[in-house]
C-alpha cells in the first residue's frame, strides 16, 4: 500500500512510532478503594476480583516501578477502584515510567507532578450522574481538570445516557477539555445477577433489576453510530474520535472472535498474554484474562480493547488507499488519546506534511 502511495509514507512512519509506544504495556491496580458508587462498576461488580489484605509500603511501590522501568515497560495503565486515592503510588510511578494513562472518576485533582495522561470517566450530565453514580460527578471533574493538558474526558456511552451527549460535549468544550468515547460493557457478575433476577442493593446494583442490562441492541448501535457522527461533526475541536474507530466499536455482533468453550475473546489486544502483564496491589503479576478481568467478552465494546486490537490493519483497511488512510487516522488519534506529552514525532509529521 505504501509502495503505491509514497506520499503516505510520513503518516505511516508516525503510525509505526505511535504503535511502538505500546510494545511493552502493563496494567497496575493502584487502589482497592473508591469514593463513588457507579452502577455496574467494572471493579466492584466482579465476584472474583483480587483482594489484597496487606498492601506494600510506598517504598515497595517505588522499588517495584524502578524494576518495571528496567523491564522496559513502554506504556502503563493505572487502574483499580480509584487510583487518585493513592497519590504516592502514582508519584512513584511517574519517577520511573515515561508514558502512562490513569483512569479516574475526576473527583480528586491529581498532583501536577504526575505527568501521565489522565482519563476522566464521564457517565452523563448532572441528572444522569446522580442516577448512575450517586452524585454530580461531572461537575466536580470539570472544575478539577478545566484546561489541564493531561486530561481527556472518557465518556462511556450506554442506552441510559446517549441523550446526554450534546450537553456533556458542550460542558467539556467550555472547560477546555477534549472528549473521547467508550461503550458500557457489563461484567459477567453483573450480567449473571441480572439473569438470575437478583434484588437491587444500595451500592453497584441499584438500577439493573428494574431497567435491565444497559447494552446496545443491533438497532441501538445504529443510534450510537449516529450520535458519534454528530458529535464529531458538531464538536470537531473537542471530540477525539475518528470515523474508523466509530465504525469498529459500533458494528453489530461480538467485536472479537469468541472461543465457544470458554466464552473468552481469542483476538482481543487487551488479553493478558505475551508482553502484557496485569499487577494487583500486591505488586504481583496476576493470571487474569484481560485488562478488565470480569468483563463479558461477547458484549465487550470497551475502548481499551478496541484500540489495542487495531495495531495491525486488518483486511478492511487494506482494500484501497482510502481505507488505509482510515487506519492511519486511527493510529494518529490513538496517540493523541493515550500519550502525554505528545511525542516529538507528531511535530515532525506535521512539518513533513505542511
CATH assignment of the domain containing 32: 3.20.20.70
Residues 350 and 228 in one domain: no
Could you tell me if 299 and 340 lie in one domain?
Answer: no
Does residue 342 register a pLDDT over 50? Answer: yes
Mean pLDDT to the nearest integer, 107-113: 98
Together in a domain, 118 and 76: yes
Cβ atoms 327, 317 nearer than 8 A: yes
Asked if pLDDT for residue 287 goes beyond 90, the answer is yes
pLDDT range class, residue 350, cuts 50, 70, 90: low
pLDDT at residue 354 in the model: 44
Can you tell me the mean pLDDT for 195-199?
Answer: 97
Is the pLDDT reported for residue 221 higher than 90? yes
Assess whether pLDDT exceeds 50 at residue 194.
yes
Look at residue 156 and tell me whether its pLDDT is greater than 70: yes
Band the pLDDT of 4: cuts 50, 70, 90. confident
pLDDT higher than threshold 80 for residue 232: yes
Residues 16 and 107 in one domain: no
The whole-number average pLDDT for the span 119-124 is 98
pLDDT above 80: residue 1: no
Average pLDDT, integer, range 331-346: 94
Our count of domains for the chain comes to 2
Decide if pLDDT at 267 tops 80: yes
Residue range 16-44: average pLDDT? 97
Q: What is the distance between the alpha carbons of residues 155 and 174, in angstroms, rounded to a whole number?
A: 16
- What pLDDT score was predicted for residue 162? 97
Burial 126-164 (b: 16+ CB within 10 A, else e): eebbebbbbeebbebbbebbeebebbbbbbbbbbbbbeb
pLDDT at position 91 is: 98
Mean pLDDT over residues 272-285, rounded? Answer: 96
* 292 & 198 share domain: yes
Residues 53 and 129 in one domain: yes
User: Are residues 354 and 306 both part of a single domain?
Assistant: no
Verify that 176 and 277 share a domain, yes or no.
yes
pLDDT tens figures, 54-82: 999 999 999 999 999 999 999 999 999 99
Q: Are residues 87 and 100 in the same domain?
A: yes
- What percent of the chain is predicted at pLDDT more than 90? 94
Q: Which domain holds residue 47?
A: 26-310
| Same domain? 204 vs 56 | yes
161 and 104 housed in the same domain: yes
- For residues 126-137, average pLDDT: 94
Mean pLDDT of 77-100: 98
> Considering the entire predicted model, what is its pTM?
0.96
Q: What is the mean pLDDT of residues 279-295?
A: 97
Question: Is 272 in contact with 304 (CB distance < 8 Å)?
Answer: no
Query: Across residues 347-354, what is the average pLDDT?
Result: 61
Same domain, 113 and 219: yes
| C-alpha span between 155 and 98 (Å, rounded) | 25
Q: Please give the share of the chain, as a percent, with pLDDT higher than 70.
A: 98
Amino acid at each position: 500500500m505504501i509502495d503505491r502511495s509514497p506520499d503516505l509514507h510520513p503518516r505511516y512512519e508516525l503510525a509505526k512510532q505511535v504503535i511502538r509506544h505500546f510494545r511493552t504495556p502493563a496494567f497496575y491496580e493502584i487502589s482497592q478503594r473508591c469514593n463513588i458508587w457507579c452502577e455496574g462498576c467494572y471493579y466492584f461488580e466482579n465476584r472474583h476480583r483480587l483482594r489484597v489484605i496487606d498492601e506494600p509500603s510506598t517504598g515497595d511501590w517505588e522499588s517495584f516501578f524502578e524494576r518495571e522501568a528496567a523491564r522496559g515497560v513502554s506504556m502503563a495503565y493505572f487502574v483499580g477502584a480509584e487510583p487518585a486515592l493513592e497519590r504516592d503510588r502514582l508519584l512513584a510511578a511517574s519517577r520511573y515510567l515515561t508514558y502512562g494513562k490513569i483512569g479516574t472518576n475526576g473527583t480528586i485533582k491529581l498532583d501536577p507532578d504526575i505527568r501521565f495522561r489522565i482519563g476522566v470517566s464521564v457517565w452523563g450530565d448532572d441528572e444522569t450522574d446522580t442516577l448512575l453514580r450517586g452524585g454530580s460527578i461531572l461537575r466536580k471533574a470539570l472544575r478539577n481538570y478545566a484546561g489541564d493538558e493531561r486530561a481527556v474526558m472518557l465518556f462511556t456511552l450506554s442506552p441510559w445516557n446517549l441523550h446526554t451527549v450534546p450537553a456533556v460535549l458542550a460542558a467539556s468544550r467550555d472547560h477546555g477539555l477534549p472528549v473521547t468515547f467508550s461503550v458500557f460493557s457489563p461484567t459477567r457478575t453483573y450480567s449473571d445477577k441480572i439473569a438470575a433476577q437478583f434484588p437491587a442493593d444500595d451500592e453497584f446494583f441499584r438500577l439493573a433489576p428494574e431497567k435491565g442490562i444497559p447494552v446496545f441492541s443491533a438497532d441501538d448501535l445504529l443510534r450510537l453510530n449516529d450520535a458519534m457522527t454528530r458529535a464529531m461533526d458538531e464538536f470537531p475541536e473537542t471530540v477525539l474520535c475518528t470515523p474508523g474507530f466509530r465504525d469498529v466499536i459500533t458494528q453489530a455482533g461480538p467485536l472479537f472472535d469468541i472461543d465457544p468453550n470458554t466464552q473468552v475473546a481469542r483476538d482481543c489486544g487487551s488479553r493478558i498474554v505475551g508482553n502484557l502483564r496485569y499487577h494487583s496491589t500486591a505488586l504481583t503479576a496476576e493470571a487474569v484474562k484481560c485488562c478488565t478481568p470480569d468483563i463479558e467478552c461477547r458484549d465487550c465494546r470497551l475502548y481499551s480493547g478496541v484500540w489495542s486490537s487495531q495495531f495491525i490493519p486488518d483486511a478492511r483497511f487494506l482494500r484501497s488507499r482510502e481505507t488505509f488512510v482510515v487506519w492511519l487516522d486511527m493510529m494518529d488519534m490513538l496517540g493523541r488519546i493515550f500519550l502525554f506529552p505528545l511525542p516529538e514525532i507528531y511535530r515532525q509529521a506535521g512539518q513533513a506534511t505542511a
